[in-house]
Amino acid sequence: LFAGPCDFVAAVPTIDRLPPFSLPEVAFAGRSNVGKSSLVNALTGRNTLARTSNTPGRTQQLNFFELNKTLLLVDMPGYGYAAVPKTEIARWKRVMDQYLSGRVTLRRVLVLIDSRHGLKENDLEELTIFDHRAVSYQVVLTKADKVKPGALTRVWEETKAKLAKRPASHPEVMVTSSETGQGIEDLRASLHLLASL
């Protein structure tokens, strides 16, 4: 599907440094350490393209990657706890807010949720902001390899139920593992569709 090259485009620390509009964009959001950068790598098939870490707060800028001249993937900093100073977190948040509310080429935000935890209060707050701004988003469960199949089904059903009445939410909840590759091909296919809209 995205067989061609995938390249790093830009690391954006402040809103005036955004790359010019070119391709449709998909942004990756979610709590710190949920697996955003790992998912970008799994999708591109390149393990070291986006930097990952055990320490929450690894990604500190908006990192743009171009996928086969088709789509830009935007790896964002996480929300919630990060092992960095509060002033830094406030700075990222400003850049993300500006990006998320004013980017005409942004097609969808993938909101990543850890399969072990499901939707938490700060995730719901984030979704409410997207609903109010009519920013279209889709929830993706991550780290599916960390839970037993029965528990995974439960959290998937629970998540879908919690999203049912949210106007900007895509009804389909994807299940992925960057570790085993579960769900990666399906997610690629859905991004491919988005890119062609």
| Contacted entry of ligand GTP, Mg ion, none for residue 159, CB cut-off 5 to 8 Å set by kind | none
Whether 53 contacts 36, CB under 8 Å:
no
Contact in structure between 30 and 111 (CB atoms under 8 Å)? yes
d(CA 32, CA 8): 21
Does residue 59 belong to the site contacting ligand GTP (CB under 6 A)?
yes
119 neighbors 113 (Cβ within 8 angstroms)? yes
Does 115 participate in binding ligand GTP (rule CB under 6 A)? Answer: no
Give me the least distance between CB of 190 and ligand GTP, in Å please.
18
Contact region with ligand GTP (CB under 6 A), list: 94-102, 140-148, 151-159, 187-195:
140-148
- Taking the complex as a whole, the smallest distance from the CB of residue 53 to ligand GTP amounts, in Å, to 5
- Separation CA 84–CA 91 (nearest Å): 11
Q: Is 93 in the site for ligand GTP (CB under 6 A)?
A: no
Quote the least distance from Cβ 59 to Mg ion, whole Å.
3
Per CB under 6 A, does 57 bind ligand GTP?
yes
CB of 147 to ligand GTP, least distance (A): 10
Residues that bind ligand GTP (CB under 6 A): 30, 32-38, 52-54, 56-59, 77-78, 142-143, 145-146, 177-179
